[in-house]
């Protein structure tokens, strides 16, 4: 066994074989001592440090323990500041360094570059084409972060694992401006705002499931919610010279999250959502090779930097005039404003392709807004089952779980929506179960139509309309007519797909 205590003996002539902590006066420090005495002792210790890193590490840990016994504030920070290399790795070696790549030497055609990015993302990850379009525009928009007002979160989600989420983040990181990879288990609010304030990176956070469910990291969610808008700040108390002062950090920046399932609703509301599914066995994609992706991604990044520098003013102006179609709500218009500005300046077919991607992806996300969907489904079930004045909580939960095409039966790993979960979802709307007597003198604990009517005035159920569905049929040389099928009922605002 190694005698670690022996490793702490000073080797220099001033030590004379004595304990270096004793020689430097560290062991003489007592509770309540002046910080100047602490600094003097640590400076006396520096020339006594051995060359061996292991010995330095042992001495460092002993000094920290001694200072903590003396109740010295920030003992670890003081020791690491005073003893270079004692922690094993110098701070300069540990520090994150993010820089932009060398710019492309020649002018770049924006539409052509975006076309190549879409093909690149599609080659490596099996996904719908609107998703690849959104990813290309989002990566390009990250290079304009300093002149855009909104930086939407690119959320990559799937119902299960092995759908390509991690691969997609590895593709986004080298292409987006100052891409920085992390994971849900390693990223914290402090990491984000400190990195962001110094480097403004594009964060690519894998395994972000901690941003969902009842145990979600609310502080991190709040940070991401605020950080999608220019000017967002977070405040922290920082100790300086023995006193604390409030310091503001810049929270604004582009982020991408990958997770299984659905993230917190407020994040989804600020997100451009790409949904991935597991690749069918007969579909082939390029084999992922880290070095090849890094090399190809670097070429894209260099070209994006050149295009961004050449068109910064044009994109900034286009963002102010970004389309705000009626089928996008105000938040979605903000989310897409920077991406649609990039598409407008790139030209060609990109303005139309950008709007089409926004329509499809935002429609998918709106359909997954469970709170509003809950109100609509309850209203439809109430009418269909003729519940009258009130319905018991259990009966309502059971009816929702049996509703095909809605997510309620998938809750709790397939066990379905419980009465407790139902009450929690209704609570923000000001509705809850209560015990009362009906006009027929029946006592019911459950939900009452009189309580739901005010909510329906705020979230009206979309009307059902009859719409002709025309199936697409391939015809030789484009000739021949297509006969419509029988009318079917679809919800207004949602596209019917044959």
More confident residue, 456 or 483: 456
Residues forming a β-bridge with 392: 446
The pLDDT of 15-42, averaged and rounded, is: 86
State percent of the chain over pLDDT 70: 83
Cα 405 to Cα 401, 402, 410: the distances in Å are: 10, 9, 11
The H or E element that residue 232 is part of is none
- For residue 401, give the 3-state DSSP assignment: helix
Q: pLDDT band for position 77 (50/70/90)?
A: confident
The pLDDT of 248-265, averaged and rounded, is: 87
More confident residue, 1 or 308: 308
- Determine contact, residues 128/108, Cβ cutoff 8 Å: no
pLDDT in tens, 389-399: 999 999 999 99
- Determine contact, residues 169/202, Cβ cutoff 8 Å: no
Please give the Cα distance from 398 to 382 (Å, whole number): 12
What pLDDT was estimated at residue 102?
94
What pLDDT was estimated at residue 161?
85
pTM score: 0.61
- Those residues whose C-beta lies under 8 Å from the C-beta of residue 349, and which sit 6 or more positions away, are 111
At residue 26, does pLDDT exceed 60? yes
Strands 153-158 and 271-276: parallel
Please give the Cα distance from 161 to 81 (Å, whole number): 44
Residue length of the chain: 498
Q: Please give the sequence-ordered ranges of beta strands (E in DSSP) within 202-338, or none if there are none.
A: 202-206, 233-240, 243-250, 255-260, 271-276
Tokens of residue 30, six digits: 């007592």
CB atoms within 10 A of CB 250: 16
């Amino acid at each position: 066994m190694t005698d670690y205590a022996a490793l702490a003996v000073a080797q220099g002539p001033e030590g004379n074989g004595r304990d270096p902590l004793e020689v430097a006066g560290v062991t003489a420090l007592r509770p309540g001592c002046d910080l100047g005495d602490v600094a003097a002792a640590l400076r006396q210790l520096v020339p006594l440090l051995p060359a061996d890193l292991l010995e330095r590490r042992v001495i460092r840990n002993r000094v920290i323990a001694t200072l903590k016994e003396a109740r010295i504030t920030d003992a670890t920070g003081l020791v690491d500041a005073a003893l270079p290399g004692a922690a094993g790795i110098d701070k300069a070696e540990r520090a994150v360094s993010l820089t932009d790549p060398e710019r492309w030497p020649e002018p770049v055609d924006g539409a052509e570059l975006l076309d190549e990015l879409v093909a690149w993302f599609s080659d490596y990850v099996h996904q719908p084409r609107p998703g690849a379009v959104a990813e290309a525009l989002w990566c390009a928009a990250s290079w304009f972060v300093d002149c855009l007002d909104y930086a939407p979160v690119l959320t990559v989600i799937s119902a299960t694992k092995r759908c390509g989420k991690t691969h997609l983040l590895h593709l986004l990181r080298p292409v987006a401006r100052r891409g920085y990879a992390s994971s849900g288990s390693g990223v914290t609010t402090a990491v984000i705002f400190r990195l962001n304030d110094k480097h403004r990176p594009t964060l690519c956070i894998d395994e972000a499931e901690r941003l969902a469910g009842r145990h979600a990291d609310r502080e991190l969610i709040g940070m991401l919610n605020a950080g999608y808008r220019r000017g967002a700040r977070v405040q922290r108390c920082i100790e300086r010279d023995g006193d604390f002062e409030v310091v503001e950090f810049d929270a604004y920046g582009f982020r991408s999250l990958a997770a299984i399932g659905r993230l917190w609703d407020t994040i989804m509301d600020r997100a451009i959502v790409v949904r991935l599914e597991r690749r069918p066995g007969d579909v082939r994609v390029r084999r992922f090779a880290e070095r090849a992706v890094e090399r190809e991604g670097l070429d894209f990044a260099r070209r994006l930097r050149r295009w961004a520098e050449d068109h910064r003013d044009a994109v900034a102006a286009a963002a102010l005039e970004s389309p705000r179609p009626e089928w996008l709500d105000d938040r979605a218009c903000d989310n897409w404003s920077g991406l649609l500005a990039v598409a407008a300046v790139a030209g060609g077919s990109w303005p139309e392709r950008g709007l089409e991607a926004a329509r499809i992806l935002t429609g998918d996300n709106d359909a997954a807004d469970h709170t509003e969907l809950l109100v609509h489904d309850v209203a439809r079930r109430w009418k269909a089952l003729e519940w009258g004045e009130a319905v018991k909580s259990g009966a309502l939960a059971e009816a929702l779980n049996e509703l095909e095409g809605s997510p309620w039966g998938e809750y709790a790993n397939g066990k379905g929506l419980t009465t407790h979960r139902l009450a929690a979802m209704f609570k923000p709307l000001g509705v809850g179960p209560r015990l009362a007597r009906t006009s027929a003198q029946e006592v019911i604990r459950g939900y009452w139509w009189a309580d739901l009517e005010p909510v329906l005035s705020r979230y009206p159920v979309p009307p059902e309309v009859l719409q002709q569905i025309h199936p697409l049929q391939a015809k030789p040389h484009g000739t021949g007519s297509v006969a419509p099928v029988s009318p079917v009922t679809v919800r207004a605002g949602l596209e019917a797909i044959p």
